[in-house]
A and B are shown apart, each in its own frame.
Chain A
Amino acid sequence: DAMVIQNPRYQVTQFGKPVTLSCSQTLNHNVMYWYQQKSSQAPKLLFHYYDKDFNNEADTPDNFQSRRPNTSFCFLDIRSPGLGDAAMYLCATSSGVGGLTDTQYFGPGTRLTVL
């Protein structure tokens, strides 16, 4: 059974056209993360929610926003996608942070193409 679900799996958008990526989880985890991963690079953390508390990474562009309306769902909004935003976007969840057992479970990712 899928535990972290991302929709859509593939998204094509036009330069500057807003896009929203969706993530849902059935694990009832407190923490949800959004990562950006470009080819042959490490996943880069954009931000995470601990319950309703939003934690933005210092180098995440303002163009990227997130919403978490409830425990199960988290959204990534890209307000004005540029060509450089084409990447795989990974959602992950964990029960907590900092501990050895607080492993992260990843969704299958959404591959974003910007034309």
Chain B
Amino acid sequence: RKEVEQDPGPFNVPEGATVAFNCTYSNSASQSFFWYRQDCRKEPKLLMSVYSSGNEDGRFTAQLNRASQYISLLIRDSKLSDSATYLCVVNWLGDSSYKLIFGSGTRLLVRP
């Protein structure tokens, strides 16, 4: 089983649609969780951290379910500019220190 698993997509949605991505992780000791956004041939950028109680930032809502070990990202009212790859990222306790483990990403295409 992969450490962090995501549906690669692509998700092809019209402008204004609501789209949701899920991500599962295998290490129950993981402490912190993030969603990063990566545009084509660019570096990943933090979209939002994921808090235990869930959190919202404008059109974006992140949820964490520790019991089932999954994280979700909901995007409402999709914009063309939301087209990107969304990386699920989990902070992972390795042999001697924490490190971030990245999922392979879910690609989103928002069409006019």
On A, residues with C-beta under 8 Å from B are 40-45, 48, 50, 55, 57-58, 88, 90, 97-109, 111
**A55 interface neighbour in B31, B51, B96, Cβ under 8 Å:** B96
Chain B window 68-112, contacts with chain A (Cβ cutoff 8 Å), 1 for yes, 0 for no: 000000000000000000010001010111111011110000000
Q: Are B99 and A97 in contact (CB under 8 A)?
A: yes
Q: Are A50 and B97 in contact (CB under 8 A)?
A: yes
Q: Are A103 and B49 in contact (CB under 8 A)?
A: yes
**A98 interface neighbour in B32, B44, B45, B87, Cβ under 8 Å:** B32
A111 / chain B contacts, CB cutoff of 8 Å? 41
Q: Which of B24-73 contact A (CB under 8 A)?
A: 31-32, 34, 41-46, 49, 51
Q: Are B31 and A43 in contact (CB under 8 A)?
A: no
What is the distance, in angstroms, from A54's C-beta to the closest C-beta of chain B? 11
